[in-house]
Structure 1
Amino acid sequence: MRRFSTLSVVRAAKQSFKSRSRPQESDNFEKHFYGSGSKEPEKKKIWDELNISKHEFFIRKYGNITPEERKKLDEKVARQRRLREERRKHELGEDYNKPKPRTVLNPLSEYIYGTHPVISALQSGKRDAFSTLYIFNPKEKAEQILDLAKKYGLKVVEKKSKGEMNMLSSNGVHNGVVLETKKLQIPLISSLGADFDGEAGTYALKTYVDYEKKVTVQKNIVRNVQPGNNKFPLGVFVDGVTDPMNLGSIVRSAFYLGVDFLVVPEFDSARLGPVAAKASAGALDLMPIYKADLPLQFLDNSRKNGWSIVTASAELSEQQLEDQKEKHKRQLSARTADPSELPLILNLTPTLLIFGSEGAGVRTNVKLRSDFLVGLSKGRNDDQLVDSLNVGVAAGLMIAKCVEQ
């Protein structure tokens, strides 16, 4: 039987203690050096140290291996995949063989997303029908939305993931709510009527019923003005605005600033769908909107009925004037007005403001049907790249100028 001396045991114990204490001292140092609760700096990957990409690193490592080594590597990868799949089977159990549920969108429906667009759609009641409300951790006003859904007897479906909501909203910012509903029906308009009463605060619109019969509809002016002042209606016509974000922005500004209605051409215009509804912050379902199938005829008829047509257009440069026909030069130059005159125009006549497309602006044949051309001056005297305003921003500024008291 082997005997150990007391001295040898003590020496072995000291050596064992030192070997165990070193990593603990190192851990303790790292903990106090980086502070309690802070993360240690991530260790640099070997490809970062070599200053090459990860892909290049593995090409160098495995690009020149022998067939035998390649076979072993393939077997290792296959084994890892098999073990990963076995682990997934164990975790899912009976659900492993079930196909993943797919979110199928109804092509006859629209999926309005975002807190304010959903509330506005349910409150306004302008849509023919509502189908289903989808929710996933709603961010705000959840109780109000659920109360409105209960009022309409909507089916409420709680989704299990944000990814499912993203599919419903086409990756839009949904705030945890998506409403499946019928598309917004836009009435067809013939012209702006001649029957308006500034004292009573009413105006008329001529619209179609079933695309055949014309009817005159009386509307109330929505703006708040000082008591005793005559007030005339203010409308907005968008000419070829094809970006739904810009169109939604115009609707939002127009609704907030007290525009009475908005008219869009039936063709060559952005769709008044979920993207525009989101950009309008819900104003799309609250704003009276009409469409014109013959825009030029609509403008001509409205002008004959006493409406002033005001087109938002920057003052034409000498080069732009040179490009116009001689008779058009005189007409366009004579119709230029200053933005400060907008309140005066609205105080004297009902007014329709026209805003053009994001690139080309308002078409020449629309400008020639206008009573006034009004543009906002550039504040910088330089030739930098930014030489115009976004149409949504320009619309907000022009409308605000127009309704100044």
Structure 2
Amino acid sequence: MAVRGDHHGRMKRSDKKGAPKGSGGNKRGLRAKGPTPKAENRPYHAAYRARIQKERREETQAAQRKARAKRSLIQVRGGHQLIAGRNPVLEALESDIPVTRVFVAGNLAANKKLSLLLAKASAQGAPIVEVPRSDLDLATEGAVHQGVALEVPEFEYTDLAALFDNAEKNHAKPLIVLLDGVTDPHNLGAIVRSAAAFGASGVVIPGRRSASMNVTAWKASAGAAARLPIARVSNLVNAIRQCKEQGCFVLGLDGGGTSSVSESGLADGPLALVTGAEGDGISRLVKENCDLLTRIEISSAVESLNAAVATGIALFEVAAVRREKTHALPQEL
């Protein structure tokens, strides 16, 4: 309602509305919000979340298709695995492991010995397949393949009895390495290499909570896995008890051990050496079945050693004691 004066100066009420308030004179400058976005474009709407999930699924599927296309040149057959790297390949071929295919990236003619062995594999009926290095990178899952890989049947594990047979065949006292919870294939391969180097009769791994002899472990073993028997058992504690039945003393590597392996007085006899994973160590039940816990002497500045290094040192100590005992024997006249 507006108020105005008449010709006598008196105020008179009027029902006519005045100018609207609130626009500030900028009504034309105000912008409309526009139409409401679709549900699938509103971040807090269920349709939006469904759209994002669908896009992610499509991206994942596209990546998987792309990866499958990249691996198409090297598809390892069922029941087979790859052995990669020149030394592991040489060891495998010299050990007459059956080879189904040989994958080669680049020109390996400069390596005369490898060329001869590849010819041997070809003579046995294994085709040589030339592939791009990138495909070999993918197939070996990042292992250092040095341009060559063999497709062979999956690693053939043996049983515990075969390890004692191996010791008898070599006229040596049994030295069995048992691994408890070592899940890193690099460590497994390195332990197999050390075991072969220091005269062990073989290595025992459990069927669960353990690395297997895959391409990475083969590479880390530098081919020693082709020469040293490796047993896979369903129960590590039972394997320890079987070692005891065969006359072995069982030493467990543990930071809380009372002495070193060489100080134990047991290294020159039939021996089973148990190693656990770095950090977790030997499991409680396995530890309870060891005859003695031994330690590796290290600086206080270092908290622990990984399984492969600790096992290598322990095996070196055993080998040193056995050599010393052998040389100390009186010579026959």
TM-score, normalised to structure 1's length? 0.57
CA distance in 1: counterparts of 2:71 and 2:207, whole angstroms: 38
Equivalent of 1:394 in 294, 304, 310: 310
Corresponding position: 1:236 with 2:177? yes
Partner deviation per Cα, 1:116-171 (whole Å, 9 max, x = no partner): 1111122223x4x4211111223744323323313422111222x32122233223
Query: Aligned to 1:106, what secondary structure does the other structure show?
Result: coil
Matched residue, 1:288 = 229
2:75 is the alignment partner of 1:105: yes
Aligned to 1:29: none
Give the partner amino acid of 2:294.
V
Residues 312-369 of structure 1: CA distance to partner in whole angstroms, max 9, x if unpaired?
A: 11126xxxxxxxxxxxxxxxxxxx3333325x4132x310111101220111211111
Q: Taking structure 1 as reference, are residues 146 and 268 closer, same or farther at Cα in structure 2, changes over 3 Å only? A: same
1:307 is the counterpart of 2:307: no
The equivalent of 1:361 in structure 2 is 281
Q: Deviations over 1:262-301 (max 9, x none)?
A: 1111111101111100011111121111111121122123
Please provide the CA RMSD for this pair: 2.4
- Structure 1 contact 232–346 (Cα < 8 Å) conserved: no
Q: Does 1:337 align with 2:259?
A: yes
- Cα distance per residue 1:96-134 (max 9 Å; x no partner): xxx999325134121211001111122223x4x421111
* Residues 117 and 101 of structure 1, relative CA distance in 2, 3 Å threshold: closer
Q: Does the Cα contact within 8 Å between 1:310 and 1:373 map onto a contact in 2?
A: yes
- Counterpart-to-counterpart distance in 2, 1:157 and 1:280: 25
1:164 aligned residue: 135
2:89–2:150: 8 Å Cα contact kept in structure 1?
yes
Q: Conserved in 2, the CA contact under 8 Å of 1:119 and 1:145?
A: yes
Q: Which amino acid aligns with 1:361?
A: G
| Counterpart code for 1:363 | S
Give the secondary structure class of the aligned counterpart of 2:100.
strand
State the partner residue of 2:213.
Answer: 272
State how far apart, in whole Å, the 2-side matches of 1:242 and 1:294 are. 16
Counterpart residue type for residue 142 of structure 1: L
Contact 2:247 2:270 in 1 (8 A): yes
**2:91 maps to 1:175:** no
Amino acid at match of 1:162: R
Matched residue SS, 1:403? helix
Aligned residues, how many? Answer: 249
Q: Distance in 2 between matches of 1:369 and 1:397?
A: 22
Q: Which residue of 2 aligns with 1:79?
A: none
One-letter identity of the residue aligned with 1:130: V
Q: TM-score, normalised by structure 2?
A: 0.68
Residue 130 of structure 1 is matched in structure 2 by: 99
Question: 3-state SS of the aligned residue for 2:267?
Answer: helix
Unaligned runs of 5+ in 1: 1-98, 193-202, 206-216, 223-230, 317-335
Show structure 2 runs of 5+ residues with no match: 1-68, 324-333
Pair 1:396–1:238, CA change in 2 (3 A): same
* Superposition misfits of 4+ residues, deviation over 4 angstroms: none
Q: Which amino acid aligns with 1:131?
A: T
Shift of 1:204: 3.8
- Structure (1 or 2) with the larger CA radius of gyration: 2
Alignment-derived partner of residue 377 in structure 1: 297
**Residues 6-405 of structure 1 mapped to structure 2, 5 A cutoff:** 102-108=72-78, 109-125=80-96, 127=97, 129-136=98-105, 137-138=107-108, 140=111, 141-159=113-131, 161-189=132-160, 204=164, 219-221=168-170, 231-315=172-256, 336-342=258-264, 344-347=265-268, 349-380=269-300, 382=301, 386-404=302-320, 405=323
